[in-house]
């Protein structure tokens, strides 16, 4: 398919117009999974996914992969309509293969999770050619955990928590600036206050998959599925890449 439309100006306004054709060409020549890539031996991966995740994350941190604790969270509410966004991983329970993240209960994801407490996470670490997927039920951790999470944050992040209702429509930049000033004054006056909706969620994976790019497209996929009847509580197997 070719694009006969004139295109749109680039972000700076000084560069060449951006067209669907130019984007397609540039995407085709953009490198992906370029390596050098680490190896992965699924036979040596062990019987449970939590330690594999921990080892892969530690390696990403060691090797300076940018923002390896950033992940995509996909949710769906009662209408079944999926919605995905990027979040920070706040903690890992290696033994249970569970992942903690924090957000606002009134946000879209919070509403989705209230209606359908089940979600999926993905991480992608380009330098390692690694993708991890995890999915499972999501629970809300106790208020004390939410409190510690919130109060452990730096000031701008705490001010953001009092600035407005996440995901609600915003009238404009002036309304935002005004709310932000109010929030900054509020946390100065009440430094121990925690927004009512600040919530720490825990996704306890009942499935997890480790995807390792290999040379010449020979990728490896290792999937774990929780199975109380299996020794160690998990079954595992390879998938066609
Ligand atoms: C790198 C990065 C990290 C983020 N971390 C969080 C986070 O930990 N918690 C959060 O609620 N939103 C975080 N956000 C904002 C979310 O992507 C999203 O905009 C927000 O949570 C509202 O999503 P929702 O309307 O789907 O609920 C982050 C965004 C980026 C780009």
The pLDDT tens digits for 73-91 are 999 999 999 999 999 999 9
What element of type H or E holds 157?
helix 155-161
What is residue 4's predicted lDDT score, i.e. its pLDDT? 62
Query: For residue range 225-239, what is the model confidence (pLDDT) as tens digits?
Result: 999 999 899 999 999
User: What does the buried/exposed string (b/e) look like for 44-69 if buried means 16 or more CB atoms within 10 Å of the residue's CB?
Assistant: ebeebbbebbeebbeebeeeebeebe
Is 197 within 8 Å of 204 (Cβ atoms)?
A: no
What is the arithmetic mean of pLDDT over 57-68?
Answer: 97
Domains, in order of start, for the chain: 36-154+196-239 (2.30.110.10)
What is the arithmetic mean of pLDDT over 23-52?
Answer: 94
pLDDT of residue 24 exceeding 80, the answer is: yes
Query: For residue range 145-204, what is the model confidence (pLDDT) as tens digits?
Result: 999 999 999 999 999 999 988 999 999 999 999 999 999 999 999 999 999 999 999 999
CA distance 136 to 64: 29
The dihedral region occupied by 102, where left means phi > 0, alpha psi between -120 and 50, and beta the remainder, is beta
- Sign of the CA dihedral running 69, 139, 86, 241: positive
Determine what percent of the chain is predicted with pLDDT higher than 90.
88
What is residue 107's predicted lDDT score, i.e. its pLDDT? 96
- Going from the Cα of 89 to the center of ligand 1, the distance in angstroms, rounded, reads 11
pLDDT of residue 217 exceeding 90, the answer is: no
SS3 of the chain: helix, strand, coil, percent, to 5: 30, 30, 40
CA distance 79 to 233: 32
Query: For residue range 120-147, what is the model confidence (pLDDT) as tens digits?
Result: 999 999 999 999 999 999 999 999 999 9
For ligand 1, mutation pick of 67, 82, 86 (most atoms within 8 Å of CB): 86
- Going from the Cα of 86 to the center of ligand 1, the distance in angstroms, rounded, reads 5
- Going from the Cα of 108 to the center of ligand 1, the distance in angstroms, rounded, reads 10
Sequence-distant contacts of 193-198: CB under 8 A, at least 24 apart: 193/162, 194/146, 194/147, 194/150, 194/151, 194/161, 195/104, 195/150, 195/161, 195/162, 197/104, 197/105, 197/106, 197/110, 197/165, 198/102, 198/104, 198/105, 198/146, 198/147, 198/149, 198/150, 198/161
What is residue 71's predicted lDDT score, i.e. its pLDDT? 98
Query: Which protein residue has the closest C-alpha to ligand 1 atom 19?
Result: 85
- Going from the Cα of 161 to the center of ligand 1, the distance in angstroms, rounded, reads 12
What is residue 1's predicted lDDT score, i.e. its pLDDT? 59
Query: Which atom of ligand 1 is nearest the CA belonging to 103?
Result: 11
For ligand 1, mutation pick of 85, 104, 107, 169 (most atoms within 8 Å of CB): 85
* Burial tier of 25 (Cβ tally within 10 Å: 0-12, 13-18, 19+): exposed
Nearest Cα to Cα of residue 121 among 111, 106, 131, 108: 131
CA distance 193 to 172: 26
Query: Which atom of ligand 1 is nearest the CA belonging to 86?
Result: 17
């Amino acid at each position: 398919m070719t694009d006969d439309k004139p295109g749109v100006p680039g972000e700076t306004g000084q560069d060449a117009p951006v067209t669907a054709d130019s984007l397609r060409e540039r995407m085709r020549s953009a490198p992906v999974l370029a390596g050098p890539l680490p190896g992965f031996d699924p036979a040596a991966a062990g019987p449970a996914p939590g330690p594999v995740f921990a080892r892969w994350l530690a390696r990403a941190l060691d090797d300076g992969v940018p923002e390896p604790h950033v992940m995509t969270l996909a949710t769906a509410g009662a209408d079944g309509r999926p919605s995905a966004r990027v979040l920070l991983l706040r903690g890992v329970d290696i033994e249970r293969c569970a992942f903690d993240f924090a957000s606002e209960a009134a946000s879209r994801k919070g509403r989705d999770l209230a209606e359908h407490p089940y979600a999926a996470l993905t991480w992608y670490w380009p330098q390692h050619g690694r993708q991890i997927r995890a999915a499972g039920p999501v629970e809300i951790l106790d208020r004390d955990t939410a409190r510690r999470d919130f109060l452990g944050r730096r000031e701008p992040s705490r001010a953001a928590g009092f600035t407005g209702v996440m995901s609600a429509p915003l009238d404009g930049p002036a309304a935002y600036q005004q709310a932000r000033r109010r929030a900054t004054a509020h946390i100065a006056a009440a430094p121990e206050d925690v927004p009512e909706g600040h919530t720490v969620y825990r996704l306890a994976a009942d499935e997890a998959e480790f995807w390792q790019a290999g040379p010449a497209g020979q990728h490896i996929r290792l999937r774990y599925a929780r199975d109380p009847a299996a020794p160690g509580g998990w079954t595992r197997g390879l998938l066609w890449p």
